[in-house]
Amino acid sequence: MPLIPNIEIDDITIAEKHTSGFNLERCEIGLWSIYNVIKKIANNACPRQVTECLLMIGANAKFENNGMMSLVYSGKTSKKYKRGMPGAQYLFELENFGFVFYNIDTLEEGTPNKRKLSVKNIKQFYVSYNLGDFRDVIFGLKLFSDICIKQSSPLSCFLAGDIRVAFEDAPKLYAPPADELFYPLPNEQKKAAFVIHDKLVAMGCVRELEGEHAVKYKHKGQMIATIWAGERIWFLPEIEQKQKLVFKFNLCNIGQYTAYLDECTEEIRKSIVGVDNCGHNKKNERCANGQKNCDGVIFEYQGKKYKKCTRYFCIFKDLSEQAIFNYVMLITLENEHRI
């Protein structure tokens, strides 16, 4: 997950398109309020599901009245945010941070223990905020949630409390500064990440966060690279969890520069020629690995022809100094051969 940024109230310059027609000053105070509450929850080392519950409420609930100081949640209503509510134990953990739940309507008889409720049995509840430390938390929650669900990675944006997405100078595609993405990496892995990041930025790539640990780099509208950086990268097996950094390069034109593979590390060559073949199925437009619209990457190396699946092709874990040098060269060669 990206690092929660340090933001001061005077930094907030919300773009008019994100105000939803509300008073600009109230929007700024609302964003400031929810930012601080999210940061407070994170500083208490709570499970991320607690903050995720806030986004679920904000994305789906409606204001109780014109005062906009309380919300009514009646289940999933948002068409843009598809995730479900985490468990009730996480939802009602929010009571420890000033949120008050009332008029809870459930499918269960009697007065059940709130934290043991099944989420699917909660029909409706009202929620307000009563600590008084920040004056417009509920309004800010709804406003920030609505802004986040317009992003490519709404949950990551919300978990980081990154209200900068609403600022006047915010980029069209959401991606926090690289130092906020790479902060959990050990020093050597962080150095490697910045070498590749700097190369991609120098080429003119634009970045977009996808998920909690992945940032994609696009060049002239085409995806050219993905960097996964985080405490736990979801597709790595348990024995590889010391590795916090993985690269993927879309080397679709590798057939035009395969001679360079002779200069790459053995691990790099394995990540190119040793992965699954495509096996494209014309009937359902999927390859044997389930990848949609995958026509495979076709190339010849050392007299052998290959057709590799784009899903697993060119995912690199080798972080040696030689490998990092090879990656820079591969990116350069790919860029030179793109139309």
pLDDT digits (tens, 9 = 90+) for 184-226: 999 999 999 999 999 999 999 999 988 778 899 998 888 999 9
Mean per-residue pLDDT over the chain, rounded: 90
Cβ proximity of 185 and 241 under 8 Å: no
Strand ranges inside the chain, DSSP E: 62-63, 70-73, 99-106, 122-129, 206-210, 214-219, 222-229, 245-249, 297-301, 304-308, 315-316
Q: 3-class SS at 277?
A: strand
What is residue 85's predicted lDDT score, i.e. its pLDDT?
92
Report field, pTM of the whole predicted structure over 0.75: yes
What is residue 69's predicted lDDT score, i.e. its pLDDT?
96
Tokens linked to 86: 């985490």
β-sheet with 214-219: strand ranges across: 206-210, 214-219, 222-229, 245-249, 315-316
| Furthest-apart CA atoms within the chain: distance in Å | 74
The more confident residue out of 155 and 276 is 155
What is residue 238's predicted lDDT score, i.e. its pLDDT?
82
Q: 3-class SS at 217?
A: strand
Burial class (CB in 10 A: 0-12, 13-18, 19+), 328: middle
What is residue 113's predicted lDDT score, i.e. its pLDDT?
75
What is residue 267's predicted lDDT score, i.e. its pLDDT?
96
d(CA 101, CA 70): 10
What is residue 274's predicted lDDT score, i.e. its pLDDT?
86
Model pLDDT for residues 8-60, shown as the tens digit of each residue: 999 999 999 999 999 999 999 999 999 999 999 999 989 999 999 999 999 99
Model pLDDT for residues 145-185, shown as the tens digit of each residue: 999 999 888 998 999 999 999 999 898 888 889 999 999 99
What is the pLDDT averaged over residues 243-266? 95
What is residue 339's predicted lDDT score, i.e. its pLDDT?
66
In this prediction, residue 232 has a pLDDT band, given cuts at 50, 70 and 90, of: confident
